Chain A
Amino acid sequence: MPDEVSAVRQSIRELLREQHGGDRFVSTVSDSESLRQAGMSSNALVALLVAMEDAFGFEWDDDVHPEALRSIESLADHVVALRG
Chain B
Amino acid sequence: MASYEELSRLDMTYHDDVPRIPTREGVELYYESRGEGTAVTLLNTFFLPVPAWRVYTEELDQHYRVVSFDLCNHGHSSKVEEEPTWEEHAADLIALLDALEIESTYLIGLSTSTVFARDVALRYPDRVKGLVLTGPAFGPRGMRRQRQIQRAWLRTLESHGLEGLYEHLYPEVFSAEMNEAIGAPGFLGFRESFSALATVEEMTNGLKRAMQDKSSPEMLAGIQAPTLVVVGDDDFLLSPTGAKELAALFPDGACEIIPKAGHIPFIDDPEGFQAIVRKFVEEVESRA
Contact = CB atoms under 8 A, between A and B. Distances in A.
A49 interface: yes
Interface string B170-195: 00000000000011111111111101
Contacts of B187: 62
A62 B196 contact: no
Interface string A52-72: 010000011110101001000
B188 A49 contact: yes
Chain A interface: which size bin? 10 to 19
- Dominant SS among interface residues on chain A: helix
Contact of B7 (A36, A43, A53): A43
Contact of B8 (A46, A49, A69): A46
Interface residues of B, number: 22
Contacts, number: 55
A80 interface: no
Interface in A30-61: 36, 41-43, 45-47, 49-50, 53, 59-61
Nearest to B186: A46
A36 B163 contact: no
A47 B8 contact: yes
B55 to A, nearest CB: 10
B192 A45 contact: yes
Given A41-B11, A41-B12, A43-B7, A50 B185 contact: yes
B15 interface: no
A39 to B, nearest CB: 10
Contacts of A69: 188-189, 192
A72 to B, nearest CB: 15
B10 interface: yes
A66 B196 contact: no
Contacts of A41: 10-12, 193
B287 interface: no
Contacts of B186: 46
A62 B171 CA distance: 12
Given A46-B7, A69-B192, 10 more contacts: A41-B12, A42-B12, A42-B190, A43-B7, A43-B9, A49-B188, A53-B185, A60-B183, A60-B185, A61-B184
24 contacts: A41-B10, A41-B11, A42-B190, A42-B192, A42-B193, A45-B192, A46-B7, A46-B185, A46-B189, A47-B8, A49-B185, A49-B189, A50-B185, A53-B185, A60-B184, A60-B185, A60-B188, A62-B167, A62-B184, A62-B188, A64-B188, A66-B163, A66-B191, A69-B188
